[in-house]
Amino acid sequence: MTQAKTLQPEEARQKLKFYQKGTFTVGNRLVSEEERSVQASEDRSNALTSGHRACQGCGEALGARYAIDAAMRATDSDLIAVNATGCLEVFTTPYPETSWQLPWLHSLFGNAAAVATGVAAAMRVKKKKTRVIAQGGDGGTTDIGFQCLSGMFERNDDVLYICYDNEGYMNTGVQRSSATPPAARTATTPAVGPSPGNVFGTGKFLPKIAVAHNIPYVATATVADLHDLERKVVKAMSIHGARYIQINVPCPLGWGAASCDTIKLARLAVESGLYPIFEAEHGRVTQARKIRKQVPVREYLILQKRFAHLFRDGVDDPRVARLQAICDAHIAEYGLLGEDNEV
């Protein structure tokens, strides 16, 4: 395996900030060597290497690759990953092939956090410095894996848990999870009847629950800002104890969106206020990523077939306004508008 140099959180921070202006974005290739962000390095570990079977435009594959590569760099590749059952597990390891270039263990759907606790305990007892990451989708995290996750948090076990949140059970054919947004059509919340799609007033935002455990570090992230994602992973790996990162990863299949719109959707989810991006340490929110220019949630919804029933016959359903109210509440709660105080 390629050994890359270990990065400190500050080093992983993006040196230049590129704002997306509705054009094809500029990237690393246009800046000098020193200013390039690390992911462009040829030394990256490619922990989740090519050849896997994710769908075209899969946000989870993208998020996982950046997250695990950042963690590999931060730990000098001394890292073990535990994976919950789900898309990420299935598309990376059809026996006897594997896309993982780090030690990787899949046990069950609901126990990734507990299995990771066991791996971390083994490392401690064997006096090894090897770090441990557990990862799963939103179903494996917010629903079936919730008890094990809360236990791992409460014990402050030395595990970084990463949830790739695509807002539903995509591996089993797009069913509702407790992370599915209101009004979204899934196979178990079909777009039929007087209240089509997922009901309002349900679901949970796990990052807040994680914060309530007073663990050392909680963050949300998005595949629309990979440098921010990398920085958060690197920061998480610089801390010991229970840590949680939830990454918003659009699912073209489950959301009924074009494969080429994955990053765009992820960005609109943030810029509309629907998906607040923040960090918290020891039970307190320490930083929220500001929205440069708030976009109406309608722009985000209309690109996805799972919300198509909100725009039938060219008329906006009143529930679009209810979703907008949710965005506005997030903006108020996390102070998402105003000056960006990020470095």
Partner 1 sequence: MLKQIEGSQAMAQAIALCRPEVICAYPITPQTHIVEGVGALVKTGDLENCEFINVESEFAALSVAIGASAAGARAYTATASQGLLFMAEAVYNAAGLGLPIVMTLGNRAIGAPINIWNDHSDAMAMRDAGWIQLFAETNQEAVDLHILAFRLAEELSMPVMVCVDGFILTHAVERVDIPDQAQVDAFLPPYDPVQVLDPEHPASIGAMVGPEAFTEVRFLAHYKQQQALRLIPAFSGELAKAFGRASGGVLRTYRTEDAETVVVAMGSVCGTIKDVVDEMRDEGAKIGVVSLVSYRPFPVEELRRILAPAKNVVVVEKSIAVGVGGPLADNIDGALRNLDGRPKLHSAIAGLGGRPITRASLRRLFHTAVENPWQGAHFLDLNEHAVGREIHRVRKIRRSGSTAENILRQLAAANPLPPG
Q: Which of residues 244-273 bind partner 1 (CB under 8 A)?
A: none
The verdict on 151 binding partner 1 (CB under 8 A) reads yes
Least spacing, CB of residue 121 vs partner 1, in Å: 4
Q: Does the protein bind partner 1 through residue 156 (CB under 8 A)? A: no
Does residue 93 bind partner 1 (CB under 8 A)?
A: yes
- Candidates 3, 147, 259, 286; binder of partner 1 (CB under 8 A) is 147
Q: Which amino acid is at 262?
A: T
Q: Interface with partner 1 includes 214 (CB under 8 A)?
A: no
Distance CA 34, CA 24 (A): 23
Does 141 help bind partner 1 (rule: CB under 8 A)?
Answer: no
Smallest distance, partner 1 to C-beta of residue 109, A: 8
Residue 161 or 300 having the CB closest to partner 1: 161
Site string for partner 1, 22-61 (x = CB under 8 A): ----------------------------------------
Instruction: Verify binding: residue 101, partner 1, rule CB under 8 A.
Output: yes
Q: Which residues of 205-225 are buried (b: 16+ CB within 10 A; e: fewer)?
A: bbbebbbebbbbbbbbbbbbb
Interface with partner 1 includes 212 (CB under 8 A)? Answer: no
How do strand 278-281 and strand 284-288 relate by DSSP bridges?
antiparallel
Instruction: Classify residue 97 by burial, with Cβ atoms within 10 Å: 0-12, 13-18, 19+.
Output: exposed
Q: Is 167 left (phi over 0), alpha (psi -120 to 50) or beta?
A: left
User: Which residues are 288's β-sheet partners?
Assistant: 278
Decide: is 116 part of the binding site for partner 1 (CB under 8 A).
Answer: yes
| Residue 249 CB neighbours (<10 A) | 28
Q: Is 123 in the site for partner 1 (CB under 8 A)?
A: yes
Site for partner 1 in 285-324 (CB under 8 A): none
Torsion angle (degrees, nearest 10) of CA 146, 140, 57, 279 = 20
Rule CB under 8 A: choose which of 6, 11, 44, 90 binds partner 1: 90
CA diameter of the chain? 64
- Return the H-helix or E-strand segment holding 157: none
- Residue 29 has a CB neighbour count (10 Å cut-off) of 7
Answer yes or no whether residue 110 interacts with partner 1 by CB under 8 A: yes
If the CB atoms of residues 82 and 191 are measured against partner 1, the closer one turns out to be: 82
To partner 1, the closest distance from the beta carbon of 128 in angstroms equals: 9
> Which residues are bridge partners to 280 per DSSP?
218, 285
User: Which residues would be at the binding site for partner 1 (CB under 8 A)?
Assistant: 1, 77-80, 82-83, 89-90, 92-96, 98, 100-108, 110-111, 114-126, 130, 147-148, 150-151, 154-155
